[in-house]
Structure 1
Amino acid sequence: MEHGVDTAWLVDHHTEDFTASYAVQHWLDVAAQQKTVAITLRELAPFDKRLGTTQQAYEKAFAGVVNRILDEGYQVIALSTCTGIDSYNKDDRMVALNLRQHISDPARYHVVMDELNDLEMGKILGACELTVGTRLHSAIISMNFSTPAIAINYEHKSAGIMQQLGLPEMAIDIRHLLDGSLQAMVADTLGQLPALNAQLNEAVSRERQAGMQMVQSVLERIGEVK
């Protein structure tokens, strides 16, 4: 048994050979117009019961965070890692659209409706200053593309990943979202981006290295079994 890493760390950046689709280029252009924070949302069920909250309370609380980000002079792009394709019946885009009714300046709140792969999502997240993610996968992709991420922790996975990176303060318990205190935490984080970026780049480089070694080790073992 050996220590593994999430494979989202291993998404290659394709710096030399990436050609943005029309949709991706559109969002890169939007992000270039004004400082941008990305968010990811989700339908909380089945966790809502255990957390003692409701989808409505979660959405209102998240809208409060978005409004604070807008107050700080940023625009917000809502991305979705889970969309209603094939038999998957949860679509994060619907949650993002629902949020709009609570947003103070809807013109600066953009919901990405396009289907994106991990690389395309990484390119867009990489053009943002910060990601506030309910989906852990989005937080990892964001950090892999050099954008700090706050992971909202409703299970224990987010806390473990951030601990491993040496950034435990970037995993925030969902209670801090629901009681409103995440708003100030996000504003503080936006004020500390240069220091955070330096710390993040070092941590991500270590994690990617560990991931590559893990893959190498698995391949070697498969070779031995043959």
Structure 2
Amino acid sequence: MKILLSHAYSRHNAGDAALLSVLIQDVRDVYPGAELTVLMMDEVQPGETFDAVPVRPFPTHHALHRFSSRAAKLGHCLVTLATTALAVRVPAFVNHRVIGRRLTEYLRLCRGSDLVVCVGGGYLRGKPALSSTFELALLLQPLVLYRWMGIPTVLYAQSVGPFATPAQRRMAGHVLRKIDLVIAREDISLGILAGLGATANVRRSVDSGFAFDTATEVDIRSRVGAAPDRPLVGITVRQWLDPAGQERYERAVAAVADVAVEEFGATVVFVPQVTSERQGDDDRVAGRRVAARMRRPASVLGDSFDHHTIKALYSGLDLLIGTRFHSVIFAMTASVPVLAIEYEHKTSGIMHDLGLDEWVYDIATVDAATLTTGLRELFARREEVVAQLAERMPAYQARARDAKQELTTVVSSSSPVVLKGR
């Protein structure tokens, strides 16, 4: 079998890289000996691999990054959407002189594939801006192309939505109703999918980040110079809001970080979960800003860590204040209590699964007083929460590991390929 692992974001996003690692292992377990290829949205170097799997560029998403002006991006998006659709319908157009080398190689790779599994995540969503609608179209169109080419397709451990406009909902519903299998990772996404008319092809699982493990060991206390008798509090932050909202959020995090130092004698360290400079998504920038707003000194890790190292870093913490949700997952799987700052519904959905709703705060409204109250409460009940995590996590992680069994419902493990329901 030849299997495409589509819609991978970036190796510089530790959470998404972990999801890709889990997916690669899951597909290898279900289809041993299969030939795998990763389609990555980030810049790809010749001969690049991920977990020994060849990586190729995801060319339809390249349209969003090739130009800096919005008009040029829009024009390139329209041309990309039109040329890929035409080339699939008229195979004679699959020629580098007509549609370019990237699209030609991509379509030839697709036509030779037996199965597509789209990497887990929360990328199928939309904001009110027109640019977000076009980005959603670029993410959905490959799913249409795979169907046109008769390739069974799975969306692995996804959060879906929200969608800001009727046009986005119509697009998403039209595509997602026809996917062979959609695996939702929380109940909120199940509800959104049902509202789009996608129910018969949907299964419930959990975020595959809970199945990610590593043998890497890191002594984060030595790295930041934390005394053994002082609590070590990690923080992840990100750029997400408009300027006024971002400033309010960052001031709230800075204030609660100062309380951690002043009231609990903690050492505070900002951990960069995502360092994708090309995508304009680098947590080190926001981390430095928040640390500069603090009254007390804090460490800001300046390296770009791989997902194995990042996960190992969290295991050495006593507590995490986490905005990046996979930082929250990595911490909780190491029995580290968390205050989770939610920027998408995946956070509240998954924390609800685990009975940890009380520790979730909305990034759009969170303030210093609310976060400080949560921090004091979590320190007071830390041992209770550690025990809760130790009790609840094994079964939840087992659900994440069991998701791979759903792959067998779409394609048989023997040749020829059998498409479900066709």
TM-score by structure 2 length? 0.47
Find the counterpart in structure 1 of residue 211 from structure 2: 10
Give distance in 2, aligned partners of 1:166 and 1:79: 26
8 Å CA contact 2:274–2:283 kept in 1: the answer is yes
Give distance in 2, aligned partners of 1:215 and 1:80: 30
Find the counterpart in structure 1 of residue 389 from structure 2: 200
Find the counterpart in structure 1 of residue 372 from structure 2: 183
Give distance in 2, aligned partners of 1:127 and 1:32: 13
Q: 2:235 aligns with which of 4, 17, 39?
A: 39
Residue 104 of structure 1, CA deviation: 1.8
Equivalent AA in structure 2 for residue 161 of structure 1 = I
Equivalent AA in structure 1 for residue 259 of structure 2 = R
Find the counterpart in structure 1 of residue 246 from structure 2: 55
Deviates more, 1:114-123 or 1:215-224: 215-224
Post-superposition Cα deviations, 1:70-98, rounded to whole Å, max 9, x if no partner, equal 1221111101111134x211211111111
1 or 2, which has the higher helix percentage? 1
Post-superposition Cα deviations, 1:158-205, rounded to whole Å, max 9, x if no partner, equal 110100112111212235632521111111101111110110122211
Find the counterpart in structure 2 of residue 169 from structure 1: 358
Give distance in 2, aligned partners of 1:9 and 1:192: 24
How do 1:213-224 and structure 2 match up within 5 A?
213-219=402-408, 221-224=410-413
Equivalent AA in structure 2 for residue 89 of structure 1 = G
Post-superposition Cα deviations, 1:111-154, rounded to whole Å, max 9, x if no partner, equal 11111122211211111111111111111111122212221123
Segments of structure 1 that go 5 or more residues without pairing to the other structure are none
8 Å CA contact 2:208–2:401 kept in 1: the answer is no
Give distance in 1, aligned partners of 2:412 and 2:360: 38
Find the counterpart in structure 2 of residue 84 from structure 1: 276
8 Å CA contact 1:11–1:118 kept in 2: the answer is no
Query: Structure 1's 153 and 146: CA in aligned 2 closer, same or farther, altered over 3 A?
Result: same
- Considering Cα pairs closer than 8 Å and 6+ residues apart, tell me whether 1 or 2 has the greater RCO: 1
3-state SS, counterpart of residue 233 of structure 2: strand
Find the counterpart in structure 1 of residue 318 from structure 2: 129
Residue 6 of structure 1, CA deviation: 1.1
Q: 1:69 aligns with which of 233, 250, 260?
A: 260
Question: Which has the greater radius of gyration?
Answer: 2
Deviates more, 1:166-175 or 1:36-45: 166-175
Residue 224 of structure 1, CA deviation: 4.2
3-state SS, counterpart of residue 181 of structure 1: helix
Equivalent AA in structure 1 for residue 379 of structure 2 = L
8 Å CA contact 1:62–1:177 kept in 2: the answer is no
TM-score by structure 1 length? 0.84
Give distance in 1, aligned partners of 2:405 and 2:335: 24
Segments of structure 2 that go 5 or more residues without pairing to the other structure are 1-201, 418-422
Query: Structure 1's 7 and 66: CA in aligned 2 closer, same or farther, altered over 3 A?
Result: same
8 Å CA contact 1:7–1:211 kept in 2: the answer is yes
Query: Structure 1's 179 and 98: CA in aligned 2 closer, same or farther, altered over 3 A?
Result: closer
Matched, 1:100 2:265: no
Find the counterpart in structure 1 of residue 107 from structure 2: none
Equivalent AA in structure 1 for residue 336 of structure 2 = T
3-state SS, counterpart of residue 281 of structure 2: coil
8 Å CA contact 2:251–2:368 kept in 1: the answer is no
